[in-house]
Amino acid sequence: MTNANVNDNTRDEVRRGDEALRAARVLLEAGLFNDAVSRAYYAAFHWASAALMSRGVEAKTHRGTIQMFGLHFVKTRVLPREEAARLTELETFRELSDYAVAARFTREEAESAIDAAEAFIRACQTAIPFPSA
C-alpha cells in the first residue's frame, strides 16, 4: 500500500468515525438508545481503525482491530490502558445493543457510551499523528 493510499484510507476511517458519532447523537435525541450505543461503538471503532491505518496496519475483524490497537498503541505506551478498555467496553455494549433481544439501554447509558466514544477519539487525536485533510 502506498503512502497516499494509507493517508486516504486513514482519512476515510476518520470521516466514518465522525459520521458515526454524529449519528449516535441524533439517535440519542430520537430516543433510540440501543442504536445510539451501537453508533457510539462504531465511532470509536473507526477511529481505532484510522489509528492502525496511519501505521499501515489493517485488521480484518472487530476483535482483531481491538487487539492490534492494544498491541500498537497501548503496549507501546502511546495511549494508556484505559483507552483499550474503553474500546472493549463499547464493543461489548454494541454486541448487546445489536444482538441481545432483551437489551434495553437507557438514555443515561447511551449518553455514557457517547461520552466514552468522544473521550476515546480525543485521546487518539491527541496522541496519534493523523494525515491532514
What pLDDT, in 10s, does the model give residues 49-61? 999 999 999 999 9
pTM here? 0.93
- Amino acid residing at 72: H
The contacts found for 105-109 with CB under 8 angstroms, 24 or more apart, are: 105/33, 105/34, 105/36, 105/37, 106/33, 107/28, 107/31, 107/33, 109/33, 109/37
Domains of the chain, each with CATH number or no CATH = 3-127 (1.20.120.330)
The whole-number pLDDT of residue 7 equals: 87
What are the distances in angstroms from CA 109 to CA 38, 88, 90, 114, 126?
12, 16, 11, 9, 26
Mean pLDDT in runs of 10 for the chain (133 residues)?
A: 78 96 99 98 98 93 96 96 97 97 97 99 91 68
What pLDDT, in 10s, does the model give residues 41-51? 999 999 999 99
